[in-house]
Amino acid sequence: MKKKYSKELLIGFTVLITLLIIFFGIDYLKGVNIFKAANYYYASYTDVAGLAQSAPVTVNGYKVGLVREIEYEYDNPGHIRVELSLDRKLKVPAGSEAVLVTDMLGTSSIELKMSNSTEYHNVGDKLTGVNSKGLMDNVSNELLPAVGNMVPKIDSLLTAVTALLTDPALTNSVKRLDNVMANLETSTKQLGAVMANTPSIASDAKTTMANVKDISNNLTAISSDLAAATAELKKMPLDSTLNNVHQITSSLEELTSKLNSRQSSAGLLLTDPQLYNNLVNATASVDSLIVDIKRNPKRYISIKLL
């Protein structure tokens, strides 16, 4: 009998241990650290969509606790009470808010917005619960109305595009564009033919440039000679030469005036007819005398022989 009692006691103890392990194991799987002391606070919300037990409670992105329990407030219809399990070392300033935040996937968490108060909540106090607008709320409240307003404009735009595409003028424009492209292709071929003759043109241009270069060299040589001649002219005594020319001109003017004057022999010789006639007669007489001397030399020359 004693042996049977001991066996039943062992079985009962084993079941109790198993139940404890299951109980605390479930809490552990939920993220509850049964070996870590925690303080409990409460917050009330009108909507906890996406929030589940063991959801994280964060401060500035750092996890400081988790959601311990969620239950409906029957004494305050329309509200849900959320129990928060926070680190015992964390002190919550008075006036802090527990903001329910929903991410893009619809999962919610609690974010504590700490106030600057120097007074702190007591353990078990009720914090102010605030529902933050999530991404889907922004889509429903802002994006969808904007899209709804754009739908009529898009419909009008599609109608205008359809009318444009069915307009015969567009078809004619496309045909004209085809003609333009065909002409452009022909022009391209002609340009290719012209470019094929470019080497000969380039050769002629090269020869021409060589000739131009030779002409330029000749002009450079001429310019150098002109520069040398100019330098030589600068070295010449131009002032004295011009003075000599001026003196010679003056002398020629004086000689010319004397030749034209009757006061000089040369002037009389050039201007007096009688003198000219006398000279002519004298010349004729001398000529007659020479002729007579040639004819009768004995008359003028007597040779005596001893």
Radius of gyration of the chain (CA): 69
Q: pLDDT class for 1, splitting at 50, 70, 90? A: very low
* pLDDT for the residue 182: 84
DSSP SS3 for 166: coil
Q: Tokens in use for 85?
A: 């399990």
- pTM of the complete model: 0.39
Region 198-206: mean pLDDT is 70
Tell me the CA end-to-end span of the chain in Å, nearest whole number: 230
In this predicted structure, the answer to whether residue 71 has a pLDDT above a threshold of 60 is yes
124-137: pLDDT as tens digits? 899 988 888 655 55
149-176: pLDDT as tens digits? 777 778 777 887 787 777 777 777 777 7
Q: Tokens in use for 143?
A: 């994006």
Please name the residues in contact with 86: beta carbons below 8 A apart, sequence gap of 6 or more. Answer: 38, 39, 40, 41, 57, 64, 65, 92
